Amino acid sequence: MATEVSHSWRDSYKGMSSDNIKGLVLALSSSFFIGASFIVKKKGLKKAGASGIRAGVGGYSYLYEPLWWVGMITMIVGEIANFAAYAFAPAILVTPLGALSIIISAVLAHIILKEKLHIFGILGCALCVVGSTMIVLHAPQEREIESVKEVWDLATEPGFLFYAALVLTAVFILTLHYVPQYGQTHIMVYIGVCSLVGSLSVMSVKALGIALKLTLSGMNQLIYPQTWTFAVVVGTCVITQMNYLNKALDTFNTAVVSPIYYVMFTSLTILASVIMFKDWDRQNPTQIVTEMCGFVTILSGTFLLHKTKDMADGSCTSPSMRLSKHTDEEDGFVLESIPLKRQDSLRLPLANSSNPRD
């Protein structure tokens, strides 16, 4: 009986392809470099602030600090590894693994910067690892593509064109109508633009990565106009994405922006990948459900980690402290504990006592 179960398990799980393994290694490397870069850059900021004007008050002395540049180079290496990962593995495998950079950053901050990692933060790390393992073990095999023209054909199919049209329509409505009126008060406006554009950005990055991979293997894809079209889309999307992400980070608390952005960006990216590359067509329902459970587990761990940061800093000890600005004495950045609707957080409790539904 045990032998039959063993054989049935082997039949259902054929293992990871060589491309998926390469993509997994690159994604893990990317998470390590990006996670470590935050710590190295913060050490550089602290060192520069000790001898010059701190970045939090408008200083640029960190530009003369070698340690900050080491952190910047480390982040660039991580982003390059992440870019390359999309050329080998499906987005449904690579994108959720970005949560591991949060774990690495939290652990290194605990060891190097002596920032306390709460017991629930450790649990959050464990949940991210468990969720990532579930996704890795059940991720679909990468689609065999021999030309960038094949990617272009996938991108111009009715299903993905309809998705892209919905995304662009939503982005235009948000930027033209909602950003001017509600951008400074509703966090979902800026993050919505970032996430929607980001899903198209990842699809273009994957297409461009496949083109470069094929070119390096001897099949020149740079002669095709589709390659350069994807490159233009990548540049346009990344600039737009970073612009609105910076607006969100500048307006709202990072501890609120990061998990919400991660959830929306990753969810929309997986949806776009499923529509364009038809990842789920090569999987059975059990694998799909397991992947979704793994994704939800990662989301739970990510939210728990960010919530733990507030608990460790003591910013959740009282309502009055949640309403006030506080300054990180180590790196000089001014943070605001601002919930989803910024104007609600600035009202005094006594002012709302007469009309709690205001």
Q: pLDDT of 187-215, one tens digit each?
A: 899 999 999 999 999 999 999 999 999 99
Q: Higher-confidence residue: 212 or 107?
A: 212
Tell me the pLDDT of the chain averaged across its residues.
79
Cβ atoms of 141 and 71 closer than 8 Å: no
Residues 147 and 67 placed together within one structural domain of the fold: no
Residue 94 lies in a domain: yes
pLDDT attached to residue 321: 37
Residues 105 and 148 placed together within one structural domain of the fold: no
What's the half-sphere exposure (Cβ side, CA atoms, 13 Å) at 50? 7
pLDDT attached to residue 118: 79
What is the pTM for the complete model shown? 0.74
Residue 35 lies in a domain: yes
Residue 352 lies in a domain: no
Residues 245 and 169 placed together within one structural domain of the fold: yes
Provide the domain count of the chain. 2
Instruction: Enumerate residues 6+ apart whose C-beta is below 8 A from 195.
Output: 261, 264, 265, 267, 268
DSSP 174: I
DSSP string over 58-117: T--GGGG-HHHHHHHHHHHHHHHHHHHHHHHS-HHHHGGGGGHHHHHHHHHHHHTS----
Domain that holds residue 250: 141-282
Residue 266 lies in a domain: yes
Structure tokens at 27: 């994604």
Burial of 285 (0-12, 13-18, 19+ CB in 10 A): exposed
Nearest 10 degrees: Cα torsion 183, 187, 193, 196: -160
Residues 204 and 264 placed together within one structural domain of the fold: yes
- Taking phi first (over 0 means left), then psi (-120 to 50 degrees means alpha), and beta for anything else, what does residue 115 get? beta
Residue type, position 181, single letter: Q
Structure tokens at 94: 């690579």
Residue 301 has pLDDT above 70, yes or no: yes
